[in-house]
């Protein structure tokens, strides 16, 4: 595991974008696993800049996102599809049909889970998976629990995650209580993993990287993966 400490959010974002950019340069038809939330916004901005300057070409890239809320359509500004369309996809030259997220509106979530797991596999697996981390150690929407979820599945969000995510909604009652997420096993199948964590995540990052490997701290499982890069920042 490589742990790279940067000064601030700006530097973390630039470094993360360099690593993702290198992946795209080395393998133009790569599969990127992507995340939503506050952590990757700066990284996406740097990727957009690089694309606008002609340094990166996304025309062959395929993307699979980690997760989606249940019950929100893609045109709902709180959905992760909407987030990705606005924060990245519409601003780089990626064909929209190359971008995939779980369908939070699917009637049958078990079937949708199987479909999404199979879709990731059918693309040839993820070359580089970008992750953020929750204050409780979650990755994707894999919340602390008794065993590591192996595959894509539906989850009930914990109170702490609903609280944390409510900052993006008008009212806490509007935060969906369920989501569909890649499992920890799905995430671990990626060839390379890149975790980015702001200064506010310092203590959970330490617990996850140096503490016991336990499903009570889902990100601790990353200690077992052969190619993980973690970028932290000292401030901001
Ligand atoms: C988002 C996701 C989550 C976030 C985590 C951190 O797709 O999978 O695990 O990465 O909740 O969120 P931020 O970056 O907003 O602190």
What is the third-level CATH fold of 2-197+221-235?
Rossmann fold (3.40.50)
Domain extents for the chain? 2-197+221-235
Q: Please, what are the averages of pLDDT over each run of 10 residues along the chain (236 residues)?
A: 97 98 98 98 98 98 98 95 98 98 97 98 98 96 96 93 87 93 98 98 97 98 98 92
- CA 58/CA 66 separation, integer angstroms: 19
Nearest CA to ligand 1 atom 9: 140
Asked whether the whole model's pTM tops 0.85, one would answer yes
Q: Cβ(186) to ligand 1 under 6 A?
A: no
Q: Which of 202, 220, 203, 226 is nearest to 145 (CA)?
A: 220
- CA 47/CA 155 separation, integer angstroms: 31
The residues facing 4 across adjacent strands are 231
Nearest CA to ligand 1 atom 10: 132
If you measure from the C-alpha of residue 162 to the centroid of ligand 1, how many angstroms do you get, rounded to a whole number?
A: 12
The set of catalytic residues is 67, 136, 138, 143
Q: Cβ(138) to ligand 1 under 6 A?
A: yes
């Amino acid at each position: 595991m490589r742990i790279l400490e940067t000064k601030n959010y700006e530097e973390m974002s630039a470094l993360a974008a360099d690593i993702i950019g290198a992946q795209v340069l080395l393998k133009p038809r790569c599969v990127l696993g992507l995340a939503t939330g506050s952590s990757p916004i700066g990284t996406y901005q740097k990727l957009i800049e690089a694309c606008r300057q002609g340094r990166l070409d996304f025309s062959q890239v395929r993307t699979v996102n980690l997760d989606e809320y249940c019950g929100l359509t893609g045109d709902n500004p709180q959905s992760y599809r909407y987030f990705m369309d606005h924060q990245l996809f519409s601003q780089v030259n990626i064909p929209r049909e190359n971008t995939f997220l779980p369908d939070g509106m699917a009637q049958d979530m078990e079937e949708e889970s199987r479909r999404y797991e199979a879709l990731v596999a059918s693309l040839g697996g993820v070359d580089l998976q970008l992750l953020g981390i929750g204050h409780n150690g979650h990755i994707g929407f894999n919340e602390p629990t008794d065993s590591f979820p192996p595959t894509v599945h539906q989850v009930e969000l914990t109170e702490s995650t609903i609280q944390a995510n409510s900052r993006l909604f008008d009212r806490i009652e509007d935060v969906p209580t369920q989501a569909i997420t890649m499992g920890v096993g799905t995430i671990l199948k990626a060839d390379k993993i890149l975790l980015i964590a702001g200064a506010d995540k310092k203590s959970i990052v330490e617990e996850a990287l140096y503490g016991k490997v336990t499903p009570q701290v889902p990100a601790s499982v990353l200690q077992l993966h052969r190619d993980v890069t973690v970028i932290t920042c000292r401030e901001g």
